[in-house]
């Protein structure tokens, strides 16, 4: 009796062992060009601006706090 893994592997053996001829595919875009397609995509719109604003606010608050060692200079 075959277990389920063996059955699934056997089911796709023809695809795994197939000799793919990528040169015969028409109009293949180079990998460097394909990467550029997704470059402008931003999953979280406005996230960069919110992060920069939070960073500016936090830095300003830290600068306003008086250091206990400030007078020792």
What residue has token string 């699934």? Answer: 8
Say yes or no to pLDDT of 29 above 60: yes
State the pLDDT at residue 1: 46
Say yes or no to pLDDT of 41 above 70: no
Report, as an integer, the average pLDDT of 44-67: 87
What are the backbone angles phi and psi of residue 3, rounded to the nearest 5°? -85, 170
More confident residue, 25 or 65: 65
């Amino acid at each position: 009796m075959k277990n389920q893994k063996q059955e699934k592997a056997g089911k796709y053996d023809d695809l795994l062992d197939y000799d793919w001829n990528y040169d015969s595919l028409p109009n293949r875009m180079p990998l460097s060009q394909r990467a550029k397609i997704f470059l402008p995509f931003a999953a979280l719109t406005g996230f960069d601006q919110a992060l920069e604003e939070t960073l500016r606010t936090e830095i300003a608050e830290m600068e306003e706090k008086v250091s206990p060692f400030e007078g020792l200079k």
